[in-house]
Amino acid sequence: MTIIQGDGFEVKIIRSRRRKSLSLQISHEGATIRMPHTLALREAEAFVDKKSRWIKQKLAQATPPLERQYSIGGTHAYLGENYPLVHIPHAGKAALSLADNQLQLHSKTPPTPEAIKRLLINWYRQQADNHITLRTQHFADIMALQPTKISTRTYKARWGSCNARGEVQFNWQLIQAPIEVIDYVIIHELSHLKHLNHSADFWQQVDQYYPNYKTARLWFKQYGAQLLL
Ligand SMILES: [Zn+2]
């Protein structure tokens, strides 16, 4: 593969017979120039030279998506706080617990990233089940709106749902968010027990129990994607 060395960055060159002109693409994976098979490399070099500042700027903007480190020493969020993952040698079955402001992983040897991810997901799901069920019951009593069922599950692109049977479901990945942000989702879904839509009446119902709902919605816009494992 041909690479052009820019001023502090690299540009991958892909030549093709079908291509009629030179084009530049920039993504979080880097800069790539696609060019006709016959075009001289120095043409591409001159182009990179001329556009150097612009390419640097675009590469900086295309920052890589947040990648989680499933390793000892990595940090993970729980109820809005970040905790470092520490390994504690332990003869029995591998288990995760929160103690002394640490996520403590008890196991014989430090587990693989896959095993850490599995343990973390299991732990999050347990915490979400406990916390969200209790909290939903708490607000259901205050709002005098009783769901027929409260459960948590995996969603890829939503935080909760409420159906016509009166069942409310929540994304367990919410357990990483601050308590007040989770409360917003709970109050939002409970409000659907009264209004199964997003009408003005619905938002008025939300506002009555969660006046700061606009801030919570903004929080999800900014940080929501970071909750997805
Ligand atoms: Zn809704």
What one-character DSSP code corresponds to residue 11? E
Q: What's the CA-to-centroid distance between 65 and ligand 1, angstroms? A: 27
Q: What's the CA-to-centroid distance between 203 and ligand 1, angstroms? A: 9
Q: What's the CA-to-centroid distance between 25 and ligand 1, angstroms? A: 38
- Give the whole-angstrom CA distance, residue 212 versus residue 203: 11
pLDDT at site 65: 47
Q: Which positions ≥6 away from 169 have C-beta within 8 Å?
A: 150, 151, 152, 153, 160, 161, 162, 189
Q: What's the CA-to-centroid distance between 198 and ligand 1, angstroms? A: 6
pLDDT at site 112: 92
pLDDT (tens, 9 = 90+) of the chain, 229 residues, equals 789 998 888 999 999 998 989 999 988 778 999 999 999 999 999 999 999 988 988 887 765 545 678 988 889 999 999 999 999 999 889 999 999 999 999 999 988 999 999 999 999 999 999 999 999 999 999 999 999 999 999 998 899 999 999 999 999 999 999 999 999 999 999 999 999 999 999 999 999 999 999 999 999 988 898 899 8
Q: What's the CA-to-centroid distance between 66 and ligand 1, angstroms? A: 27
**Structural domains of the chain sorted by starting position, each given as residue range(s) with its CATH number in brackets:** 2-61 (no CATH), 75-120 (no CATH), 121-227 (3.30.2010.10)
What one-character DSSP code corresponds to residue 65? P
pTM equals: 0.71
pLDDT at site 157: 85
Six-digit token string for 219: 């929080």
CB atoms within 10 A of CB 144: 9
Q: What's the CA-to-centroid distance between 124 and ligand 1, angstroms? A: 23
Q: What's the CA-to-centroid distance between 166 and ligand 1, angstroms? A: 13
Q: What's the CA-to-centroid distance between 141 and ligand 1, angstroms? A: 20
Q: What's the CA-to-centroid distance between 197 and ligand 1, angstroms? A: 7
Q: What's the CA-to-centroid distance between 32 and ligand 1, angstroms? A: 41
pLDDT at site 131: 98
Q: What's the CA-to-centroid distance between 189 and ligand 1, angstroms? A: 6
